Structure 1
Amino acid sequence: MRQFDVNLGTPGRLMLAAGLIGFGFVGWYFDHALDGLEPFELQPAAVWLNSGVLLLGGIGLIWGRTAPKVALVLWILLTLLFFVHTPGLVAEPDNATRWVSALEVLGLLAAGMLIAAPDRADCRLVGRLVVGVMLIVFGAVHWMYVEAIAGMIPGWMPGRALWPWVTGAANIAAGLALVSGVQARTAAALCGVMFASWIVLVHLPRLLASPGDRSEWVACALAFALTGVVWTVHGALSQSGEDLHPSAR
């Protein structure tokens, strides 16, 4: 029995677009590189250029006709950005923060690839695997930094110390589903719902509480973008007609 067959490709593309537009505005407003995603100091001209590309890219993704071409440009830009992360990964291979940032860029890259070439089976496979690995690492980091994650949970929610373990397990389970291809679309749909809920429960309240904090703006935009990433994977798998179970293909 198939579940969550509704195509989340368009909502995914729009959430990704919202995240990219947010990145562009944050870069311009604060005149600073995006914390984590851009692991280097930039000259003002470079900040404005990068932010402009992200902003225009997000706007271009809104319209279905322009989305594939815009996604191709973003694919190239994000590939270059990922390679900028590699020296840090080589220098500090045990630094979880560096891996999370690099995998976030890879996840955005994968979504751009799927929007640019949704009909290619190899792109769907690579996108599914990349996002799956990203989610597994996210889950592991939740378990490694339980106190830090618990500190982000609103005080009114019961069981704050338990939520990092629950959300970590959910990330890992969704990642394994995507990597294995078993219940991959269902996992992507539900993971997107989880990410979207964090926007409302965690990121927007923190942003409203600290509107001058650049890192909160980046985190909120990233939450939109990552919701778009997993829903874009779901949409690509749905459009291809691939079943939830490898044995049924």
Structure 2
Amino acid sequence: MQITKLISPGRAIFAIGILGLGFLCVLTGDFIIGRPPAWSESLSAMKPALGYVSGAVVVLACAAILASKKGDAGALIIALLILLLSGLRFLPTVMTDWLGGYKTMALLGGALIVACSFGLEGRTDTLMFMQRKKTTDTLIAVGCFLLAAFFIAGGYAHFKYADFVIGFIPEYIPFHAFFTYFCGICLVAGGVGILIPATRMLAALLSSIMLLGWFLLLHIPRFVANPGDPSDRMGLCESFAFAGIFFVLAGISVRKK
């Protein structure tokens, strides 16, 4: 099927989105992928060095994905950095900043899926353990679970924090309340859909189109209107990266069949 052709551009979209976040890590002197909470006082002195070094590593890892040279290793490095430098920082605040924690884990899961896309191609330059079907099946299942958890949590947040979401939508888009609840339903449906192997390809494809639409219609205008806003800069990169993840997932779901 032609959907398998989405894998390569999906990986490129993911890498470009994460590349932007890597540059932001360097610019801010902090590892900000997943929007983790502030470092504890005992570790705050390490923040600039960690930001510069980890940001540079992320940039190099994204370059490997874009060049399709050791791209699986690059994606796995990104996943590991997200786990260690963002995921662990959410542990003390997981009950109060739960949506940020879910987003962090979803980006980690997406990086695992991108890594597996190289292993599924039977490439000789991939890591040995990534050439094993059992390994890729396990990592894809973990990635889908983490993405689904974030989507379902995000859908719930569209209802719980509807007033905030309504205010987030640009004025030129009509029917703010309708699209807030409609997108919430779509997020939940997409999350459930990627958990079911029979519906995973369609759910991933539709989710990628939705996310790309948000990137074009929501995040680009917000960034152009206020390029200095840290949240809008990250939102631009995150939405693009997530769209790439779901394009890859749609493509490899067809290939696995």
With the length of structure 1 as denominator, give the TM-score of the two structures.
0.85
Unaligned runs of 5+ in 2: 121-135
Partner of 1:10: 8
Letter in 2 for 1:154: P
C-alpha distance in 2 between matches for 1:15 and 1:106: 19
Deviations 1:99-141 (A, max 9, x none): 2222222122112222323442222222222212221111111
C-alpha distance in 2 between matches for 1:15 and 1:37: 20
1:50 to partner: Cα distance: 2.0
- Residue 168 of structure 2 aligns to a residue whose secondary structure is coil
Partner of 2:128: none
Partner of 2:162: 146
Superposition map of 1:67-78 within 5 A:
67-78=71-82
Partner of 1:106: 105
Q: Larger deviation: 201-210 or 52-61?
A: 52-61
1:32 to partner: Cα distance: 4.5
For residue 26 of structure 1, the aligned residue among 24, 27, 31 is 24
Equivalenced residue count is 233
Higher RCO structure, 1 or 2 (CA under 8 Å, sep 6+): 1
Classify 1:114/1:33 alpha carbon distance in 2 versus 1 (closer, same or farther; 3 Å). Answer: closer
C-alpha distance in 2 between matches for 1:212 and 1:135: 27
Partner of 1:176: 192
C-alpha distance in 2 between matches for 1:232 and 1:133: 18
Letter in 1 for 2:106: G
Partner of 2:54: 50
C-alpha distance in 2 between matches for 1:63 and 1:36: 24
- Residue 173 of structure 2 aligns to a residue whose secondary structure is coil
The answer (yes or no) to whether the contact 1:139–1:167 under 8 Å persists in 2 is yes
1:222 to partner: Cα distance: 0.9
The answer (yes or no) to whether the contact 2:15–2:65 under 8 Å persists in 1 is yes
C-alpha distance in 2 between matches for 1:79 and 1:35: 10
Superposition map of 1:180-191 within 5 A:
180-191=196-207
1:6 to partner: Cα distance: 4.1
The answer (yes or no) to whether the contact 1:107–1:229 under 8 Å persists in 2 is no
Q: Larger deviation: 117-126 or 187-196?
A: 117-126
Letter in 2 for 1:62: L
1:8 to partner: Cα distance: 2.3
The answer (yes or no) to whether the contact 1:30–1:214 under 8 Å persists in 2 is no
The answer (yes or no) to whether the contact 2:34–2:82 under 8 Å persists in 1 is no
Letter in 2 for 1:84: R
Q: Which runs of 4+ in 1 moved over 3 A?
A: 4-7, 30-33
1:31 to partner: Cα distance: 3.7
Point out the structure with the larger helix share.
2
- Residue 40 of structure 1 aligns to a residue whose secondary structure is coil
- Residue 176 of structure 2 aligns to a residue whose secondary structure is coil
- Residue 177 of structure 2 aligns to a residue whose secondary structure is coil
The answer (yes or no) to whether the contact 1:131–1:230 under 8 Å persists in 2 is no
C-alpha distance in 2 between matches for 1:174 and 1:86: 26
1:182 to partner: Cα distance: 3.6
Partner of 1:137: 153
Q: Larger deviation: 194-203 or 8-17?
A: 8-17
- Residue 63 of structure 2 aligns to a residue whose secondary structure is helix
Q: Equivalent pairs: percent with the same residue? A: 24
